[in-house]
Chain A
Amino acid sequence: MNMLLMQCKVEMLRIIRNPYYVFWSLLMPIVFYFIFTRLVNSGSDDVKAWQAHYLMSMTTFSVMGSAIMTVGIRMVQEQTLGWSVYMRITPLPGSIYFIAKMFGQTVMHAFSVIVIFIAGFLINGVHMSLFQWIGSGLWILIASIPFLALGTLFGTMKRVDTASGVSNVVYMVMAVLGGMWMPLDSFPSVLQAIGKWLPSYNYGSGVWSIAAGEAPAWKPMLILAGYLFLFMVLSIYIRKRQEAV
């Protein structure tokens, strides 16, 4: 237990001390939020609804990013530093190491969610019921698990440059095509059709429903579960192959 607590603490310290985390996961989404709800006229009929919707977009954008990027790049870094080899000769079980990583990451996500929600409240006075706030936050945390798995998949790459390049591109493409930057219905129909099957759209979709006062549909949950399964199987498969030396 002592081991697990210590490991979680260490992982959180490492994330919060990373300047990229503060920039990408906190500053960027808040700045975007400010620009797209205050400076740019969205042309939306219901301004209040748009402000709540876009707050969710930016929060999912933040958490999705840090799930994919931080986890993946960290793992590659530890590999190249030889640190993950060192861990294997210590009595720390690999499972605790992994759980601590995921838990630490989730706590940091919770922190991001709270900060960005507060920013939304301060910038636009976004108004939702307590139930909606908590429900949105929970959705964002729980539905981020497939992205943690995707980060783990990128974490099997050999070089930090490759991992950060690939995860950056995937992150940005998914954010745009998933309607996190602007609503999907402003896109050509082909892109809309693709976007609806992306994990990013389905991630946003559930929380957009909650912000609009509806329950999330089953479809995004099933699609996200499917992606989680896919990413997990792939990263376990690759890792097993790499370890078989």
Chain B
Amino acid sequence: MEHIAEIEHVSKIFAGKTVVDDVSFVIPRGSVTAVLGPNGAGKTTVLSMMLGLREPSQGSVKLFGQSPKQVQVKRRIGAMLQDVSVIDSLKVYEVMNMVRSYYPNPLRMVDMIHLAGFTSDELNKRAEKLSGGQKRRLGFALALAGDPDLLFFDEPTVGLDAPARRAFWQQVDRLADQGKTILFSTHYLQEAEDAAHRILLFNKGKIAADGTPDEIVSRLTSRSVSFIADWDGNDTYPVLEMIHRMRAIPGVSDCKEQEGRWVVTTDNTDTVLAALFRYGIPARDIRTGQGRLDDAFELMLTHDEQDKEAVSS
């Protein structure tokens, strides 16, 4: 079997509001996929449907070819969820042993302790007395208790400091090297770019883009050619003609003057360069550039917020 997870035309409607809108994707074995998107994009809802915690309003979710509610499936998955705290009144090692007992082939206790990096002092602490970061480490170890093939991490690094984040992603890398299939959600672009082989970009309940981090970068960001044009005299006609000709090139979305330079926004910078010479435009100091993904991402988020304000006002 090639695909660990198959999501087909899945929608989720809460109280008349479409949170996830006709989403389809497959997760191949051994891949590391980031579900990236701003808050409220439907990431957590998609994950909870994949985990069998929520029922899709439409469409089907299959893990290992079966419904995620099947016990055979649950034995092969592990997850770290948002808003799950630890069970109270139990010591850390008791919680670990308890969760291990749920799985037919659990990790060895020593391996789990190693994964969580707990000292024997911490192991004997009551789980509810752990610090936030320690609780997260416990959650991580519990996700791996059953030695799962497929792992879900929902916003795994929220609230962690930089060293803890780094340590977390190093462990994820190691798990990926062991051949585990990993799906994580995040609203940090950098994390998705660094840790994932593939990004599913969610926006407003839909998949806005799906591809490798590089592909996403090129899709999200625009390329441009910029130059300084030296016209003879103040003849406006060639300027208008240039704008007209540039805009006629396939893939060009804009041509305008910004801070003394002409900027041509395009999918393909090569055709713009060729055109500059073909039309004999008196251009000098020609530069090609690419917008930053961060900017594009920010832009997407700000659009969202404007939408929200529009809805609430």
Binding site for B on A (CB under 8 A): 2-3, 6-7, 10, 13-14, 17-18, 77-78, 81-83, 85-86, 88-93, 245
* Given the contacts A10-B90, A82-B85, A90 and B53 also touching, CB distance less than 8 Å: no
Decide: A89 and B51 in contact? CB cutoff 8 A: yes
Decide: A14 and B90 in contact? CB cutoff 8 A: yes
Tell me the residues in window 60-101 of chain B with beta carbons closer than 8 Å to chain A beta carbons: 71, 74-75, 77, 79, 81, 83-90, 94, 97-99, 101
Nearest Cβ on chain A to B40's Cβ, whole angstroms: 17
Contact residues in A for B55 (Cβ distance below 8 Å): 245
Contact residues in B for A17 (Cβ distance below 8 Å): 89
B30 within 8 A of A: no
Main SS class of interface, B = loop
Q: Per a CB cutoff under 8 Å, which of B54, B89, B97, B142 touches A245?
A: B54
Contact residues in B for A18 (Cβ distance below 8 Å): 89
Contact residues in A for B84 (Cβ distance below 8 Å): 81-83, 85-86
Binding site for A on B (CB under 8 A): 14, 51-55, 71, 74-75, 77, 79, 81, 83-90, 94, 97-99, 101-103, 142, 146
Decide: B94 and A13 in contact? CB cutoff 8 A: yes
* Given the contacts A2-B101, A88-B52, A91-B146, A13 and B89 also touching, CB distance less than 8 Å: yes
A18: nearest residue on chain B (CB-CB)? B89
Decide: A83 and B97 in contact? CB cutoff 8 A: no
Q: Per a CB cutoff under 8 Å, which of B77, B90, B102, B142 touches A13?
A: B90
Decide: B98 and A6 in contact? CB cutoff 8 A: yes
Main SS class of interface, A = helix
Q: Per a CB cutoff under 8 Å, which of B54, B74, B81 touches A82?
A: B81
Nearest Cβ on chain B to A155's Cβ, whole angstroms: 15
Contact residues in B for A90 (Cβ distance below 8 Å): 74, 99, 102-103, 146
Q: Give complex CA distance A132, B89 in Å.
A: 36
* Given the contacts A7-B98, A89-B77, A90-B74, A81 and B85 also touching, CB distance less than 8 Å: yes
Known pairs A7-B101, A89-B52, A245-B55 / 17 extra A-B pairs, C-beta < 8 Å:
A10-B98, A13-B89, A13-B94, A14-B90, A17-B89, A77-B88, A81-B88, A82-B84, A85-B84, A86-B79, A86-B84, A86-B142, A89-B74, A89-B77, A90-B102, A91-B71, A91-B74
Decide: B103 and A91 in contact? CB cutoff 8 A: yes
B48: nearest residue on chain A (CB-CB)? A85
8 nearest CB pairs, A to B: A82-B84, A14-B89, A6-B101, A81-B85, A91-B74, A92-B102, A17-B89, A90-B102
Contact residues in B for A13 (Cβ distance below 8 Å): 89-90, 94
Nearest Cβ on chain A to B109's Cβ, whole angstroms: 13
Contact residues in A for B77 (Cβ distance below 8 Å): 89
Q: Give complex CA distance A3, B84 in Å.
A: 22
Decide: B89 and A83 in contact? CB cutoff 8 A: no
A-B contact pairs, 17 of them (CB 8 A): A6-B101, A10-B94, A14-B87, A14-B90, A77-B88, A81-B86, A83-B85, A89-B53, A89-B74, A90-B74, A90-B99, A90-B103, A90-B146, A91-B71, A91-B74, A91-B103, A93-B71
